Copies of this chain bind each other. A is one copy, B any other.
Amino acid sequence: MRHFTRIADLDVTGVAAILDEALAWKKHPPGAHLAGKLLGMVFFNPSLRTRASFEAAMLRGGGNAIVLEVGSGVWKLEDRDGAVMDGDRPEHIREAIPVLGRYVDALAVRTFGALQDDTADAADPVMNAFRELAGVPVISMESAREHPCQGLADLLTIRERFGVTRKLPVTLTWAPHIKPLPKAVPHSFLLTAAAAGCEVRVAHPPGFDLHPAVMAEAQDYARRSGGSVSVTHDRKAALSGSHVVYAKAWGPVTEKAAASEAAARIAAHKDWLITSRTLAAAARDTVFLHCLPVRRNVEVSDEVLDGPASRVIDEAENRFHVQRVLLDKLLEGTAC
């Protein structure tokens, strides 16, 4: 594996292999498997879990990490080809990326989409520039299109609770918010759950469709993994018999809603708040997942987050466990 910035880099068999190894290492930690390795972490957007869990994975593995926050301690970066750089961005990624690649053994990158055009975001231009220019392996800490480490942590949490994921009914439900959020997390849960063979049900209000290219990719994984993917606007129907309720806020389809109207379109569906009544429509042993951060009582009520079905803290811990496996694979064979 050269890079890991999308579930397609693993495919169906790779997802299963990473989850197997993460489960094994969670029981028997691997020791200093990253000794002498150096990870460069580049943040175009802020982070809590991602930053702490990646740094912890490097440091506990005996390696080290350098944290660079673009636009804070570090220059803002231009990413448009051919730009006459007379604005507020004094450096181009065509220099910044290969330079950083010379100092480290791999680069981890966080970059959000612009949320102006779903198709532009799904094309993932900044992350793909890193793949092209870094000269070292690149791992995603969330990009415009996907957040694949989150998807793997989600599925690890499900594996731990239910043992098998094949044919397991799981529901990804849209949740309200105060503003449009990226689709990277729902994309990655969908893709990873489909690759893991789940019966994935996606429930959202009209006009909040996930990107067609991602949907098609998920259908392909489901076909080959023994899973399935379906979409509905009827959340209650989706929840029936679901063993997992995965809540996430995301913005409307950009073609259907100018950025200025997006907030209003979201506000029209406050009744999609996840409460204990929502969970009651799912299977009795259902677990509740959310990638965090979560806006309490806007997306999800206190009673769900603090209740017995919630696995959100375990889910966040599992970021660490999948990432140490991924970093091990990426850094294998790089020079010390």
User: What class of interface size applies to chain A in its complex with B?
Assistant: 35 or more
Closest-CB distance, A54 to chain B (whole angstroms): 10
Number of copies of this chain in the oligomer? 3
Known: A69-B73, A74-B46, A298-B85. A52 touches B103 (CB 8 A): yes
Q: How does the 8 Å CB contact mask read for A71-103 relative to B, with 1 for contact and 0 for none?
A: 011110010001111100011101110111011
Q: What CA separation (Å) do A104 and B78 show in the bound complex? A: 35
Closest to A312 in B: B95
Contact of A91 among B40, B98, B292 (CB under 8 A): B292
User: Quick check: B294 and A95 within 8 Å, CB to CB?
Assistant: yes
**Chain A residues numbered 210-267 whose CB sits less than 8 Å from any CB in chain B:** none
Q: Is A7 an interface residue (CB 8 A)?
A: no
Q: Which of the 9-residue segments A56-64, A157-165, A190-198, A274-282 touches chain B?
A: A56-64
CB <8 Å contact, A99 and B56: no
Could you tell me if B60 and A317 are in contact, using CB atoms closer than 8 angstroms? no
Q: Does A292 contact B59, Cβ atoms closer than 8 Å?
A: no
Q: Are B296 and A92 in contact (CB under 8 A)?
A: yes
In the complex, the answer to whether B40 meets A68 with C-beta atoms within 8 Å is no
Q: Point out the residue from B66, B83, B86 that lies within 8 Å of A178, measured CB to CB.
A: B86
Decide yes or no whether A316 CB sits under 8 A from chain B: yes
A1 within 8 A of B: no
How far in angstroms is the closest Cβ of chain B from A78?
A: 8
Is A119 interfacial (CB-CB < 8 Å)?
no
Given contacts A295-B86, A306-B94, A313-B95, contact A52 B75 (CB under 8 A): no
Given A85-B298, A91-B294, A296-B83, A52-B313 contact (CB < 8 Å): no
- Report the minimal beta-carbon distance from A233 to chain B, rounded to whole angstroms: 24
* B95 adjacent to A74 (CB under 8 Å): no
Closest to A318 in B: B102
Known pairs A47-B74, A51-B74, A95-B316; list 14 more (Cβ under 8 Å): A38-B56, A46-B75, A48-B91, A52-B99, A52-B100, A55-B66, A67-B73, A72-B73, A82-B297, A84-B297, A85-B295, A91-B294, A92-B296, A95-B294
Complex alpha-carbon distance, A42 and B56, angstroms: 14
Which of these, B49, B68, B83, B297, contacts A85 with CB under 8 Å? B297
Which residues of B lie under 8 Å from residue A21 when comparing CB positions?
none
The answer to whether the Cβ of A293 comes within 8 Å of any Cβ in the partner chain is yes
